Amino acid sequence: MSTRIYLFLLLLFFVACLHAQTEPAEREVSIEGIEHVSIRVNYSSVYLKSGNTATLKSEHIVKIDGKDQPDLRELDIRREGKTLYVEELKPTVDLLEKRYPEGFQSERGNVVFGKSVVEIEKGDVPRSTLETNLIITLPESVTVEVKTVYGSITARDIGGLTRAYAEYGSLDVHISKMVRRKMKLESQYGKVDLSLPVQFNADLLLRTEYGSLYTDLDIAVDADASRQGDFLEELVGQLGSGGELISCSAPYGNVYLRKL
């Protein structure tokens, strides 16, 4: 065998091994027997979609300057009893610092419509952008909680959503039909934006410290329980005939409650 052919075969073997070690962007797992889904991510923004399926489908997208980075993405999806855990293991700060030893800088809260955009500082070289998104499609038969650090959370008709927490990102949640379930939405440094149908029944607790509360829905406000001060605006009330408690909190951002 000639040296040229040998090197070519060796290169093919190396590429095949590298491909085998990278995680596919799209995965699908059965949720038979699962009652609750818990999602934990660091950099990615999370987009939750409802689907008529007996599986959970995930699409994990990691790009630098628009180019796919399969070696920088990894999800841990595991069962524990009746709970399915989805945890983002990559990207990490350590991996990004190794990739960019000149310097790595994450821009807090730089979130745009489901894309977590993190800027990578490389000295005098123009900055690169890291875009990370996690798209989850799941059935209405399970309850869901999701927590992010830098990314935003977007949910469309996820009736099983019980809690969504974003440290630096924002929350954008639409519920188009009546559900009777407690729901807690919180963003520490971003906004919380919730849209509900006009004929929705729920108890409400809306709270901000340095932002403002906005709504175009008809709320029966409990004036005695509600509070307003220099660094606090808290509204307690009801939509329709009341029901399960929906809590929206954004200490450093605005809270929006809109009608669909």
Q: How would you write the pLDDT of the chain (260 residues) with one tens digit per residue?
A: 555 555 444 555 444 444 435 678 899 999 999 999 999 999 899 999 998 778 999 999 998 878 899 999 999 999 999 999 999 999 887 787 777 665 444 443 333 323 344 555 545 555 667 788 999 999 988 999 999 998 899 999 999 999 999 999 999 999 998 888 999 999 999 999 999 999 999 999 999 999 999 999 999 999 999 999 888 999 999 999 999 999 999 999 999 999 99
Domain that holds residue 41: 23-169
- Contacts of residue 222, Cβ cutoff 8 Å, sequence gap at least 6: 236, 237, 238
- Specify whether 160 is located in the same domain as 186: no
How much is the pLDDT for 3? 58
In sequence order, what are the residues at sequence separation of 6 or more whose Cβ sits closer than 8 angstroms to the Cβ of residue 223?
none
pLDDT at 102: 54
Q: Are residues 94 and 211 in the same domain?
A: no
pLDDT for 146 equals 98
Task: Report yes or no on 8 lying in a domain.
Answer: no
Evaluate whether residue 104 is within a structural domain. Answer: yes
> Looking at the structure, do residues 103 and 153 belong to the same domain, yes or no?
yes
Decide: 195 and 237 in contact? Cβ < 8 Å.
Answer: no
- Same-domain status, 136 and 254: no
Question: Which residues 6+ apart lie within 8 Å of 129 measured at CB?
Answer: 64, 65, 117, 118, 119, 120
**Domain assignment of residue 4, yes or no:** no
Same domain membership, residue 241 and residue 221: yes
Taking alpha carbons only, the member of 260, 255, 169 closest to residue 204 is: 255
**Residues 204 and 153 both lie in one domain:** no
Q: Are residues 229 and 192 in the same domain?
A: yes
* Boundary residue ending a domain (169, 203, 223): 169
Give the pLDDT score at 165.
98
15: left (phi > 0), else alpha (psi -120 to 50), else beta? alpha
User: Do residue 131 and residue 194 come from a single domain?
Assistant: no
CB-hemisphere CA count at 13 Å for 11?
Answer: 6
Domain end marker among 169, 198, 219: 169
Residues 86 and 151 in one domain: yes
Structural domain total, the chain: 2
Which of 115, 138, 169 is at the close of a domain? 169
Are 95 and 187 in the same domain?
no
**Residue 57 tokens, joined:** 């489908």
